[in-house]
Amino acid sequence: MNYTVIGVLGFLVAYLFDVFSLKRVPRAKQGAGILAVGLIGYATLMVCLKSERLGIPAGLIWLGWALLCVSAPLLIYSLFINLPFRKTYVMSGAGDELIRTKTYTLVRHPGVIWYTLLLISLILVSESKLLLIASPIWFLMDVLHVIIQDKFLFGKMFADYEDYRIETPMLIPNRKSIITFLRSLRQPKIQSALQERRR
């Protein structure tokens, strides 16, 4: 089967993960989550390894590595650390609270930004012609996935999602969300400084 299609199937399974979260079916939710990550990860790896090369200049390849070193940790952080892992991916339901901190102050779906940067970096690093074709398709699948989450699912999962939707942009940061995000990065430092003064 075409690796691009396998990646698309991964995004369709990710949609099932959200449905099982909403319906509170933990085993199906966990299985869908593992399968979605597995399909997308496998498809991405195979497209990078088993494709003709583009012949990208060395300078751009190094830029790709730099971008990879930034985008991959940010994607992992947003999806698996900023969100409470156990409540989001293991337990029944979608967790007991809407996360509106750190990267989720920047946009409502920061994973899309980091995933897009990750795809660009992988194109530069792997020089894969097939990834150049697959990336726009996977990007559109990711955007479609978060649109479905935003319009049909998250409002049912989280009581205060409508307020979050009003105050935080969906995919493209604005001036206010960037300032809020930068302030959220400084808060732990400010709090630890205040604690030191109290001692």
Q: How does pLDDT run across 129-167, given as a tens digit for each residue?
A: 999 999 999 999 999 999 999 999 999 989 899 999 999
Report angle CA 82, 87, 92 to the nearest 5 degrees: 150
**CA–CA gap between residue 32 and residue 34 (Å, rounded):** 6
Q: Averaged over 15-41, what is the pLDDT?
A: 93
Q: Which of the four pLDDT bands, split at 50, 70 and 90, describes residue 24?
A: confident
> Does pLDDT of 195 surpass 50?
no
Identify the CA nearest to 100 among candidates 144, 159, 141, 146: 159
Would you kindly state where each structural domain of the chain is located, as residue ranges?
54-198
Q: Which of the four pLDDT bands, split at 50, 70 and 90, describes residue 1?
A: low
Q: Averaged over 90-113, what is the pLDDT?
A: 88
**What is the CB neighbour count within 10 angstroms for residue 144?**
13
Question: Tokens for 133?
Answer: 């074709």
Q: Which of 86-90, 120-124, 155-159 ranks highest by mean pLDDT?
A: 120-124
> Does pLDDT of 194 surpass 60?
no
> Does pLDDT of 190 surpass 70?
no
pLDDT per position as a tens digit, 35-81: 999 999 999 999 999 889 999 999 999 999 999 999 999 999 999 99
Identify the CA nearest to 72 among candidates 100, 34, 41: 41
Residue 17 Cα distances to 14, 141, 155, angstroms: 5, 15, 16
Phi, psi of 37 (to 5 degrees): -65, -40
**CA–CA gap between residue 94 and residue 20 (Å, rounded):** 9
CB 7 within 8 A of CB 37: no
Write down the pLDDT at residue 91. 83
Q: Averaged over 165-188, what is the pLDDT?
A: 91
> What does pTM read for this prediction?
0.89
Write down the pLDDT at residue 96. 64
pLDDT per position as a tens digit, 93-102: 666 689 999 9
Q: Averaged over 164-187, what is the pLDDT?
A: 92
